[in-house]
Structure 1
Amino acid sequence: MAEHVLEMKNVTMQFGGVVAVNDLSLEVNKGEIVSLIGPNGAGKTTAFNVVTGVYAPTNGAVYFNGKHIVENYPRGKMKKLYAGTSRGVYTKHIEPTPDVITKLGIARTFQNIRLWKSQTVFTNVLIAKHMRRTSNIFTATFRLNRKEEKKQREETEELLKILGLYEVRDELCTSLPYGLQRRLEIARALATNPSLLLLDEPAAGMNPQETAELTDFIRKIRDDFHLTVFMIEHHMDLVMDISDRIYVLNFGALIAQGTPEEIQKNPKVISAYLGEQE
């Protein structure tokens, strides 16, 4: 039986009267590369935001490596406004912040690159490593954490070597070509030592050559770092080439799931992307 790394159960995210994600249930298994696709506004990034603690879902639950990490149900004014499904199934309120989610082993990148623009490549990755530090104000003041600091700097250099960024380690991140900035953002996520990596449109803005290189890069980091990858992407060549399985959202609802071959032939998916002939 497949080992579930991530499970979303009946997740609904409602903003006022707008249901952005409606009753979404899915699983991502250990070692897989799974893609979440759909037209613009389908609710894909909203689903990522629920998993990573940016949003508390209006209803539903999330499990990570079998651990119950997120749950919510309609409360307050939402009791009357709630337009989603599975009302009454969930009764707990578990709402961790994004830093807690990251420490559990879930890292992500963003649709729009969010590097620390005034910092070098090296510092961008090193700062991400600091979330695993054990030091406090006392040990930092008296430099009692020197061994840990030295180790993290060495680990940062090694990570940059593995990901092909070592030669530009001292450059400002904003001076890098777009493709390398995307790679740096992934490197920063990897610096937190995740077991699950969420990639939100990693190929956005890339040309075909850069996209092909990114495809190989994602496979490499999945294998080298023993990761499970959950990805949002609009580049269908990348999605069909790299995905083990695909979920398709449209207007917040799951309309299809399956292998790339199954998704390519699914009439609901074709209709969602191309529209139906009247």
Structure 2
Amino acid sequence: MSENVLKVENVTMQFGGVVAVDNMNLEINQGEIVALIGPNGAGKTTAFNVVTGVYQPTNGAVWFQGEKIVENHPQGKMRQQYKGQHAGEYSRALAPTPDAITKLGMARTFQNIRLWKSQTVFDNVLIAKHCRTHTNFLSAALRLNRKEEQAQRQHVEELLELVGLSDVKGELATSLPYGKQRRLEIARALATEPKLLLLDEPAAGMNPQETGELTAFISEIRSKLGLTVFLIEHHMDLVMDISDRIYVLDFGRLIAEGTPAEIQNNQRVIDAYLGVAEDA
């Protein structure tokens, strides 16, 4: 049986009178590529924000690698301290910050590219290694961390080679073509050494050739790095080609789950999102 990596349990996210995510339940197993699709405004990015600690859910919980990492807290109740496998390494509440969740092994990209514009390609990735640094300020100031820094730089070189950006490592991030900026953002996420990689519309703004290259690239990094991938995407060719399973969200509620073939033939999904081809 596959190891469960992510479990979203009865999660609701409400903003005033608007319910963006309504009682969501989903699971992702080790090594899978799972897509979350649905119309604009369906609540997909909100779900990502709950999973990664940007939002504290109104109700429900998130489990990562068998441990509860996020849950709702009734108004006025003191935050409970997190206790689990990593309790000795991290002291945090069950409403952790995104950086604490990143340290656990979860990384994400964003719908709108968020690179450090004044930094080079290499430095954009190197900065992300900070969350895996074991030295403190004093040892860094005294240059006692040279071995660790050297290892980090070597890892960045390997990541840039993997994503095909070694030849532009000294260029400013914003000088890259759009498709390569997307790859750089993924490389920066990979620098945090994740077990679960969340991609929020990675093909947004790409032409068909770039989308095809991205499809092959995601499959490649899943295989080479042993990653589990959870993605939001509107490019159905990419979704159907790459996904092991698909969840469909509509008005904050999951309306279907299954293989790409099952989703393509689900009448409720067709009515809500996919539609029918003109020549059908």
Tell me, yes or no, whether TM beats 0.5: yes
Residue of structure 2 equivalent to 1:50: 50
Cα offsets for 1:113-145 (capped at 9, x unmatched): 000000000000000011110121211111111
Following superposition, which runs of at least 4 residues in structure 1 exceed 3 angstroms of deviation?
Answer: none
- 2:115 is the alignment partner of 1:115: yes
Asked if 2 retains the 8 angstrom alpha-carbon contact of 1:108 and 1:200, the reply is: yes
Note the C-alpha offset of 1:2. 2.5
Residue of structure 1 equivalent to 2:264: 264
Tell me how far apart the structure 2 counterparts of residues 139 and 109 of structure 1 sit (CA, whole Å): 31
Q: Which runs of 5+ in 1 are unaligned?
A: 77-92
Q: Tell me, what secondary structure is at the counterpart of 1:19? A: strand
Counterpart of 1:144, as a letter, is: L
After TM superposition, the score normalised by the length of structure 1 is: 0.91
Residue of structure 2 equivalent to 1:210: 210
Residue of structure 2 equivalent to 1:84: none
- 2:255 is the alignment partner of 1:240: no
| Cα distance change, pair 21–172 in 1 and its aligned pair in 2 (3 A) | same
Q: Tell me, what secondary structure is at the counterpart of 2:234? A: coil
Residue of structure 1 equivalent to 2:178: 178
Cα offsets for 1:151-194 (capped at 9, x unmatched): 11111111111211100000000000000000000000000000
Note the C-alpha offset of 1:274. 5.9
**Paired residues, number:** 260
Q: Which runs of 5+ in 2 are unaligned?
A: 77-92
Asked if 2 retains the 8 angstrom alpha-carbon contact of 1:247 and 1:256, the reply is: yes
Cα offsets for 1:80-110 (capped at 9, x unmatched): xxxxxxxxxxxxx710100000000000000
Residue of structure 1 equivalent to 2:81: none
Note the C-alpha offset of 1:73. 4.3
Note the C-alpha offset of 1:35. 0.1
Identity %: 74
- 2:33 is the alignment partner of 1:33: yes
Tell me how far apart the structure 2 counterparts of residues 226 and 274 of structure 1 sit (CA, whole Å): 31
Residue of structure 1 equivalent to 2:98: 98
Residue of structure 2 equivalent to 1:12: 12
* Structure-to-structure mapping, 1:181-192, within 5 angstroms: 181-192=181-192
Asked if 2 retains the 8 angstrom alpha-carbon contact of 1:182 and 1:202, the reply is: yes
Asked if 2 retains the 8 angstrom alpha-carbon contact of 1:60 and 1:73, the reply is: no
Counterpart of 2:108, as a letter, is: R
Note the C-alpha offset of 1:200. 0.2
Residue of structure 1 equivalent to 2:82: none
